[in-house]
Amino acid sequence: MEADKFRNYDNATPRVVEHYLNMRSKQTIAHYDKMAAKYTFDDPNKKMTILEAFHKLESYVDASDPDLEIPNLFHLLQTAEGIRNAGHPEWFQIVGLLHDVGKIMFLWGTDDDGQNGYDHRGQQWSLGGDTFVCGCAIPEQIVFPEFNKLNTDMSNELYNTKYGIYYPHCGLDKLKFSWGHDEYMYRMLVANKALIPDEGLAMIRYHSAYSWHTYNAYEHLCNEKDAVMKEWVKKFNVFDLYTKSSDNKIDVDKVWPYYEALLNKYGLGGQLWW
Ligand SMILES: [Fe+2]
Ligand SMILES: [Fe+2]
């Protein structure tokens, strides 16, 4: 499969362009802090199983993805099956299965926080899309760099310099990335004490950070561990991108028992905190 067939934004639909315009201008430090305070993983009324979350995501279509017209549910199963068929470890398969489940935040989205869209209507600018670091200059190595200047933090001298509020090689885990399904799902897995190794958690937390893992921006903020994690994130990315196919709809009922056993094994069975 030719690599340049995917992630081509030259002919992006107005929906994709609008998504990135909103995301780039509204994802600020203040927005990150607001979202981090919104999701505390301690509300008993929000508890549900992974399967229940999957069913709620059944009709979710990503507004930021130029390659994906099919519901996210199938994308998750296609990614997991691709990883499984390539002979990768079970924890890696779980990462494939869960990496986009954080889009479930649409359930609790409001009109103004960029999380109230689950299809071609509503806002998804705080659910999906290529992420960037808030609190320092936004790099040119990102989709639609012409939108960078629209970010309100970029006119604040605390936030618009190379290092901004960070220090050299502080490590990716010290950074506040634009808030979306990546950061949320990482936090959800940690909150539920999932038995997924650091490599898998990094895949989930940074898989949309293309400017970092593919275009090498932010090297001045990374530490030695991040260099190792980057290779794992890139390994994952191959499956995230190249298993996308609308004529490969997997039978959920058929494959689910296999994944349910895996989820139980890795501490993700039963009712979880969201
Ligand atoms: Fe994703
Ligand atoms: Fe994905």
182 alpha carbon – ligand 1 mean position (Å) = 7
157 alpha carbon – ligand 1 mean position (Å) = 31
What's the confidence (pLDDT) of residue 3? Answer: 52
Ligand nearest to the CA of 182: 1
158 alpha carbon – ligand 2 mean position (Å) = 33
CA distances from 191 to 184, 187, 206, 271 (A): 10, 6, 18, 13
Ligand nearest to the CA of 102: 1
- Taking the CA atoms of residue 213, residue 218, residue 221 and residue 224 in that order, the dihedral angle to the nearest 10 degrees is 30
75 alpha carbon – ligand 2 mean position (Å) = 7
What's the confidence (pLDDT) of residue 55? Answer: 87
What's the confidence (pLDDT) of residue 60? Answer: 77
What's the confidence (pLDDT) of residue 19? Answer: 93
169 alpha carbon – ligand 1 mean position (Å) = 26
What's the confidence (pLDDT) of residue 2? Answer: 47
Ligand nearest to the CA of 236: 2
Q: Nearest Cα to 229, choosing from 178, 159, 271, 173?
A: 173
What's the confidence (pLDDT) of residue 67? Answer: 65
Ligand nearest to the CA of 129: 1
128 alpha carbon – ligand 1 mean position (Å) = 7
107 alpha carbon – ligand 2 mean position (Å) = 19
In a structure prediction context, what are the per-residue pLDDT tens digits for the chain, which is 274 residues long?
Answer: 445 567 788 888 888 999 999 999 999 999 999 999 999 999 999 999 999 998 888 877 777 776 656 677 788 999 999 999 999 999 999 999 999 999 999 999 998 999 998 766 789 999 999 999 999 999 999 999 999 999 999 999 999 999 999 999 999 999 999 999 999 999 999 999 999 999 999 999 999 999 999 999 999 999 999 999 999 999 999 999 877 776 667 888 899 999 999 999 999 999 999 9
Give the Cα separation of 119 and 257 in Å (integer): 28
Q: According to the 3-state scheme, what is the secondary structure of the chain?
A: CCHHHCCCCCCCCHHHHHHHHHHHHHCCHHHHHHHHHHCCCCCHHHCECHHHHHHHCCCCCCCCCCCCCCCHHHHHHHHHHHHHHCCCCHHHHHHHHHCCHHHHHHHHCCCCCCCCCCCCCCCCCCCCCCCCEECCCCCCCCCCHHHHHHCHHHHCCCCCCCCCCCCCCCCHHHCEECCCHHHHHHHHHHHCCCCCCHHHHHHHHHCCCHHHHCCCCCHHHCCHHHHHHHHHHHHHHHHHHHCCCCCCCCCHHHHHHHHHHHHHHCCCCCCECC
98 alpha carbon – ligand 1 mean position (Å) = 9
Residue 191 contacts by C-beta under 8 Å, 6 or more apart in sequence? 41, 273
Q: Taking the model in full, what pTM does it have?
A: 0.94
Sort 41 into a burial class: Cβ within 10 Å, 0-12 / 13-18 / 19+.
middle
Ligand nearest to the CA of 204: 1
Q: Is the dihedral of CA 191, 196, 201, 204 positive or negative?
A: negative
Ligand nearest to the CA of 128: 1
Give the Cα separation of 101 and 67 in Å (integer): 18
What's the confidence (pLDDT) of residue 251? Answer: 85
